[in-house]
């Protein structure tokens, strides 16, 4: 095999229909959506139609969907504006969140004096909800909880409905980074009434550079970027029309094919777990990534029985075999610090061994997984 792409948690292959839709948008709908002439009105209609489409699938109001450049901007928008506009004094999060959240709350603590509390984690990386309740009741400050639905490195899923209820019973706002779950799980914001969530199109076979924030109506948040009245006044700047069209198409195709594609990718993950257990029995699955009931169906994180010196060549070996995977989040791939997620849940001895994240999509096959497991086995044994 020439190429095997198993890094779908970093980004995904764009669907063919999404590419066609974006090409049409670029070629035929080049007016500025804020212009009042027919070219502009046509583009504006497309933007608002996409907003309504996304809102409909999520049982939200169109005004609650704000297009952004992706998940990182959306996380920054919500957290920073909550402190600035809603007078949030305390943010409760965990130490295994995406850096879009962790670095933002650290900056808020430094710049604004925001108090940041970290909920305890169990040995698998799950937030301790009893401890969360204690933190929520610690004082009378205005609080916001930020916990991701699906962890991007180990795939753990939190009980988002329970967390949401716990926050609201205690008078706190709830934000969830749902970048790894939007497009993979059904969402109903009336059923699970989160205050804020974030999404990125490139995680569900859409284009990079576009995403959205769900901001509950009448939240009180003011503009994050000034300079124009676009995006219902929340985000100034000419809308990226072709990207929004790509996001809409990817979103629709993800949810119209959700049941079949979930079943297919779940089977791939189950098969990969079985093959790893058969061929490399000393391997360990980090977090709950090896448990289909407690983690997302899209990824596994495997700790391999390889000594530290040899481990330095593992990703190079796989890349030479044409296999794309990662040792953690793509956002920190240039760092030598290792995974901040695994640092929180693995022992010092386990951290010396290499851990690799393999993430799957509808475009993968069992033959690719067999090839990957064989390449891993060869490296472990040689």
Is 81 considered catalytic here?
A: no
Query: What pLDDT does residue 23 have?
Result: 98
Domain identity same for 124 and 233 = yes
Cβ burial 174-189 (10 Å sphere, 16+ → b, else e): bbbbbbbbbbbbebeb
Question: How many C-beta atoms surround the C-beta of residue 367 within 10 A?
Answer: 10
Domain identity same for 332 and 377 = yes
Q: Which of 197, 221, 256 is the last residue of a domain?
A: 256
How sure is the predictor about 336, in pLDDT bands with cuts at 50, 70 and 90? low
Q: Is residue 335's pLDDT more than 80?
A: no
Domain identity same for 208 and 250 = yes
Candidates 81, 164, 325, 331; catalytic one = 331
| Least trusted range by pLDDT, from 57-71, 283-297, 310-324 | 310-324
Phi/psi at 120 (5° precision): -65, 150
Query: What pLDDT does residue 338 have?
Result: 82
Domain identity same for 139 and 160 = yes
The three-state (H, E, C) secondary structure of 23-85, written as one string: HHHHHHCCCCCCCCCHHHHHHHHHHHHHHHHHHHHHCCCHHHEEEECCHHHHHHHHHHHHHHH
**Average pLDDT taken over every residue of the chain:** 95
What is the tally of structural domains in the chain?
2
Query: What pLDDT does residue 329 have?
Result: 54
Query: What pLDDT does residue 155 have?
Result: 98
Q: How far is it, in rounded angstroms, from Cα 361 to Cα 363? A: 5
Check if the beta carbon of residue 114 is closer than 8 Å to that of residue 90: yes
Domain identity same for 268 and 338 = yes
pLDDT digits (tens, 9 = 90+) for 75-110: 999 999 999 999 999 999 999 999 999 999 999 999
SS3 130: helix
Q: Is residue 332's pLDDT more than 80?
A: no
Query: What pLDDT does residue 308 have?
Result: 85
pLDDT digits (tens, 9 = 90+) for 237-251: 999 999 999 999 999
Q: Which of 256, 272, 297 is the last residue of a domain?
A: 256
How sure is the predictor about 328, in pLDDT bands with cuts at 50, 70 and 90? low
Query: What pLDDT does residue 334 have?
Result: 47
How sure is the predictor about 330, in pLDDT bands with cuts at 50, 70 and 90? low
Domain identity same for 238 and 214 = yes
Check if the beta carbon of residue 295 is closer than 8 Å to that of residue 307: no
Domain identity same for 147 and 178 = yes
Residue tagged 């008078």 (tokens): 171
pLDDT digits (tens, 9 = 90+) for 207-259: 999 999 999 999 999 999 999 889 988 898 999 999 999 999 999 999 999 99
Domain identity same for 272 and 320 = yes
Query: What pLDDT does residue 331 have?
Result: 54
- In the chain, the DSSP E strands lie at 4-5, 65-68, 90-93, 115-118, 143-146, 173-177, 196-200, 211-215, 284-285, 299-303, 323-324, 355-359
Task: Identify the burial level of 308 via C-beta atoms within 10 angstroms of its C-beta, where 0-12 means exposed, 13-18 middle and 19 or more buried.
Answer: exposed
pLDDT digits (tens, 9 = 90+) for 144-185: 999 999 999 999 999 999 999 999 999 999 999 999 999 999
- What 8-state DSSP symbol labels residue 235? B
How sure is the predictor about 116, in pLDDT bands with cuts at 50, 70 and 90? very high
> For residue 285, what is the domain's CATH number?
3.90.1150.10
Domain identity same for 166 and 297 = no
> For residue 206, what is the domain's CATH number?
3.40.640.10
């Amino acid at each position: 095999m020439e190429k095997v792409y198993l890094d779908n948690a970093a980004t995904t292959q764009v669907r063919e229909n999404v590419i066609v839709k974006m090409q049409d948008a670029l070629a035929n709908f080049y007016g500025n959506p804020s212009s009042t002439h027919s070219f502009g009105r046509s583009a504006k209609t497309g933007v608002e139609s996409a907003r309504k489409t996304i809102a409909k699938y999520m049982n939200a109001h169109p005004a609650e969907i704000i297009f952004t450049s992706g998940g990182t901007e959306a996380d920054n928008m919500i957290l920073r504006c909550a402190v600035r506009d809603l007078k949030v004094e305390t943010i409760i999060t965990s130490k295994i969140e995406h850096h879009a959240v962790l670095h933002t709350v650290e900056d808020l603590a430094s710049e604004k004096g925001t108090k940041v509390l970290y909920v305890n984690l169990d040995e698998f990386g799950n937030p301790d909800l009893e401890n969360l309740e204690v933190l929520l009741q610690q004082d009378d400050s205005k609080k916001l909880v930020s916990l991701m639905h699906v962890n991007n490195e180990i795939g753990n899923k939190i009980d988002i409905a329970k967390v949401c209820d716990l926050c609201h019973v205690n008078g706190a706002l709830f934000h969830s980074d749902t970048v790894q779950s939007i497009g993979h799980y059904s969402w109903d914001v009336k059923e699970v009434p989160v205050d804020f969530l974030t999404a990125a199109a490139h995680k569900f076979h859409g284009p990079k550079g576009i995403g959205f924030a769900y901001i509950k109506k009448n939240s009180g948040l003011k503009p994050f970027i000034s300079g124009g009245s676009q995006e219902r006044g929340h985000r100034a700047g000419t809308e990226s029309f072709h990207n929004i069209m790509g996001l809409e198409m990817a979103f629709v195709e993800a949810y119209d094919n959700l049941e079949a594609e979930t079943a297919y990718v779940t089977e791939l993950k189950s098969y990969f777990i079985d093959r790893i257990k058969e061929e490399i029995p000393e391997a360990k699955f980090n977090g709950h990534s090896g448990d289909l009931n407690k983690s997302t169906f899209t990824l596994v994180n495997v700790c391999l029985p390889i000594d530290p010196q040899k481990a330095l060549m593992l990703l190079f070996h796989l890349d030479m075999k044409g296999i794309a995977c990662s040792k953690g989040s793509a956002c920190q791939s240039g760092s030598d610090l290792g995974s901040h997620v695994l640092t929180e849940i693995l022992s010092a001895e386990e951290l010396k061994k290499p851990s690799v994240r393999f993430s799957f999509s509808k475009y993968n096959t069992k033959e690719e997984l067999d090839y990957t497991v064989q390449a891993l086995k060869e490296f472990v044994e040689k």
